[in-house]
Structure 1
């Protein structure tokens, strides 16, 4: 009798000197169709996570975000009966701090800007007047979203959606924001249109094919922490297209 626990492996023909270069661990029969398993209840710990984020748009550009949120009960005696609950919240440009707090709850952190490097993408950068106060972000780490408020009006003026790709300066600080950006693209001289969607996994080449190539030079970001002036992850490029800014790795993965 021969042992049969290695019957499948014994039939493999491995060339001499072969080395493992990559390994995939997944469920199902097709690697391309696999999905990450649902988050266990024990990992919620009272936090709210974003299952998906849809960018709301009109013909002029983005209007805001519609977030599908997941939450579960926490605390003594609650975990045994806890269930994951889904809810939807929408936030828009021009919403107040109170509107955002009512929709998403308190942020994990509030960050005050020291400068605005993205003024180069403003329609009239020469008209920008230095403010006596600093704009500030609400950082929602478990949603993968930052929300920028104007220091004077305290209204929403920018949304930042984090993809959490390895090699980025903020990698593993934010949960990945699974966003979808709907686009209506004109095709041909007869003004026919085609509906397209940009996602967290869209490539820069694909985005340029849909939105066109940027007319202005990119803003180069050299991030560094206060304790270390050297950024081991390298710089990134920021391009402005159709009232959106895309941050691109200087060295593609």
Structure 2
């Protein structure tokens, strides 16, 4: 017999192990360790607008998780098929058992537990609502037919989303507002070409962190961002063949990367001086070769201010198309590109479009998909 999936409801906050405001990267990373509970995870998105499309994770048969399009934050959790026994679900709210393999959740129990609410086809509370209609696109197990006694109507789906501050119902395409689970995460990364990076982090009261190429040290990064999840010593020197100064590349074998997967950023650090040499920012575009290796870094490319008093210089964003960003960096035609296939060394990975192109500009390299989406920015 399959073990019971025991979860609790937290209106406006989450269900079970899923917390509103969590990043897509962290949730999928967590699911990798829960394959015995969720053996099948389907990722759904709009391929025509993959950089800004909301993403849905289907965890069959019980969960649908909706993530916002720009910051890829968990927006809405749907729990369904409460009576599907594969696996069985036990659902609680505080000290009250709402549903189990033996107990069916019905309308009158919801009213007794959560109190009165406004009339309608569903029972809606702040950050929580109960639906009595079957999932239109559901498949497999079907619950019992509607009960003739309205009080005995069976709950088919439960939704949890962020509570609205103004009392209005939140739109499914809205971004998630700042909450405690985001603390420490990057909310904006402002790229200053030939200088470095300004990192703005949650909570919004945190001072921005300025990482400078040629000045910031590995020790600085450890103090400000904490130890990186991985330190990777540079082994791939294939790009040095394109360098005009081969003598400067002699000591590259000692360089190493600080990989901050949870921020979507890599730092290449000198093996001799331990100073930052390059910065790589990842966009985490669904369907691209690097999807889910890094959390999305919401980068902005800053242009030159019009004068010394200009405090709002022009910027390009991670969701802008390559042609627009290229013209922003260089008004002339795009430079020649190099073809990169990140699946060359991955025999078990197949993607509809596995190749990207590298375009070099003064101080910046862009990695671009066939759909003109910039999936990585390299600063040097």
Q: What residue is the counterpart of 1:179 in the other structure?
A: 299
Q: What residue is the counterpart of 1:50 in the other structure?
A: 186
| Mapped pair 1:153 → 2:273 | yes
Kindly tell me: are residues 151 and 39 of structure 1, through their superposed partners in 2, closer, same or farther at Cα, counting changes over 3 Å? same
Choose from 65, 69, 86 the match for 2:206: 86
Kindly tell me: are residues 113 and 177 of structure 1, through their superposed partners in 2, closer, same or farther at Cα, counting changes over 3 Å? same
Choose from 341, 355, 359 the match for 1:222: 341
Choose from 108, 112, 117 the match for 2:233: 112
Choose from 319, 334, 348 the match for 1:201: 319
Q: Which runs of 5+ in 1 are unaligned?
A: 7-19, 21-26, 72-83, 187-193
Say how many residue pairs are matched.
203
Choose from 99, 110, 114 the match for 2:220: 99
Q: What residue is the counterpart of 2:260 in the other structure?
A: 140
Choose from 46, 56, 65 the match for 2:197: 65
Matches of 1:30 and 1:199 in 2, distance apart?
25
Give the Å deviation of 1:199: 0.8
Give the Å deviation of 1:238: 0.7
Q: Which runs of 5+ in 2 are unaligned?
A: 1-119, 123-136, 138-163, 307-311, 374-380
Larger gyration radius, structure 1 or structure 2: 2
Matches of 1:158 and 1:113 in 2, distance apart?
12
Q: What residue is the counterpart of 1:237 in the other structure?
A: 357
Give the Å deviation of 1:231: 5.2
Matches of 1:29 and 1:237 in 2, distance apart?
42
1:163–1:177 Cα contact (<8 Å) kept? yes
Cα deviations by residue, 1:207-234 (Å, 9 ceiling, x for unpaired): 222223343x322222238663655351
Question: Alignment RMSD, CA only?
Answer: 3.6
TM-score normalised to structure 2 length: 0.46
Matches of 1:225 and 1:209 in 2, distance apart?
31
2:240–2:249 Cα contact (<8 Å) kept? no
Matches of 1:209 and 1:70 in 2, distance apart?
32
Q: Which region of structure 1 is more displaced relative to structure 2, 234-243 or 150-159?
A: 150-159
3-state SS of paired residue (1:62) = coil
2:263–2:295 Cα contact (<8 Å) kept? yes
Give the Å deviation of 1:51: 1.0
Matches of 2:223 and 2:360 in 1, distance apart?
31
Matches of 2:266 and 2:177 in 1, distance apart?
24
Matches of 2:234 and 2:343 in 1, distance apart?
14
2:191–2:197 Cα contact (<8 Å) kept? yes
